[in-house]
Chains A and B, each alone.
Chain A
Amino acid sequence: DVKVTQSSRYLVKRTGEKVFLECVQDMDHENMFWYRQDPGLGLRLIYFSYDVKMKEKGDIPEGYSVSREKKERFSLILESASTNQTSMYLCASSIGYREAGYTFGSGTRLTVV
């Protein structure tokens, strides 16, 4: 069974900390995505990557960066965590053709205090 694995289910971090959220997929997918999910706002795209060492800004990239050094791993970085970054973070991957859905991880619920 194909999988997208997020390293942590729950995280609590302090304001100003640097936070790393890790995501690994075992499907050899070209594309990987980071979303945040907030009540009433649905899924909002933070960053995505179409290939190793490539990254593109999504709709809400401010306060975030990403790293994709290997095809299977896509990391989301909060350089200096703030309370408004408290959210559910979802990683997804997809094969690289147009009519392809995304496979999601189980999510990381991050609380910044």
Chain B
Amino acid sequence: GESVGLHLPTLSVQEGDNSIINCAYSNSASDYFIWYKQESGKGPQFIIDIRSNMDKRQGQRVTVLLNKTVKHLSLQIAATQPGDSAVYFCAEKRNKLVFGAGTILRVKS
């Protein structure tokens, strides 16, 4: 069956450091992946996406890496800021999105 999971439920980082949030997926037929950020009291917001024919995609301060060999997805946040504190979800898509349980990112000042 399909599943998307996260290795670490909570990640604490010092302000200014880089953050890496990891995600494992099990459906090798998934062809599209997304990272969402959810702040307290809000709905998930799109951060960055990547197609399965890509290994890496960069946005503003964020980079997503896709390793199809081991079915692993990661989100890297450069120079983490207090405003980055949130729950981060990965999601994979074949016909519809399947979400992981989420990782809490806490930024220490």
B89 touches A105 (CB 8 A): no
User: Given A42-B102, A107-B43, are A102 and B89 also a contact pair (CB < 8 Å)?
Assistant: no
Interface size on A, residues (CB 8 A): 19
Q: How far is the CA of A102 from the CA of B102 in the complex (A)?
A: 16
B33 to chain A, nearest CB (A): 10
- Contact A99:B32 (CB < 8 A) given known A42-B89, A42-B101, A42-B102: yes
Known: A104-B43, A106-B41, A107-B42. A48 touches B96 (CB 8 A): yes
A24 lies within 8 A of chain B by Cβ: no
Task: Name the residue in B31, B46, B99, B101 with the highest tally of chain A Cβ atoms < 10 Å from its Cβ.
Answer: B99
B79 vs chain A, min Cβ distance (A): 25
The secondary-structure label for the interface of chain B is strand
Contact check: which of A41, A92, A106 meets B101 at CB < 8 Å?
Answer: A41
- Name B29-48 residues within 8 Å CB distance of A: 31-32, 34, 36, 41-46
- What band does the interface of chain B fall in when counting residues whose beta carbon is under 8 Å from A? 20 to 34
Q: Say yes or no: A99 contacts B46, CB within 8 Å.
A: no
B93 with A104: CB separation less than 8 A: no
Q: B43 and A106: CB pair below 8 A? A: yes
| A89 CB to nearest B CB, Å | 10
- A42 and B46 in contact, given A101-B34, A106-B41 (Cβ under 8 angstroms): no
Pairs across A and B, CB under 8 Å, 24 listed: A33-B96, A41-B101, A42-B89, A42-B99, A42-B101, A42-B102, A43-B89, A90-B43, A90-B44, A92-B43, A98-B31, A98-B32, A99-B51, A99-B93, A101-B46, A101-B49, A101-B97, A102-B44, A102-B46, A102-B97, A103-B46, A106-B42, A107-B41, A107-B43
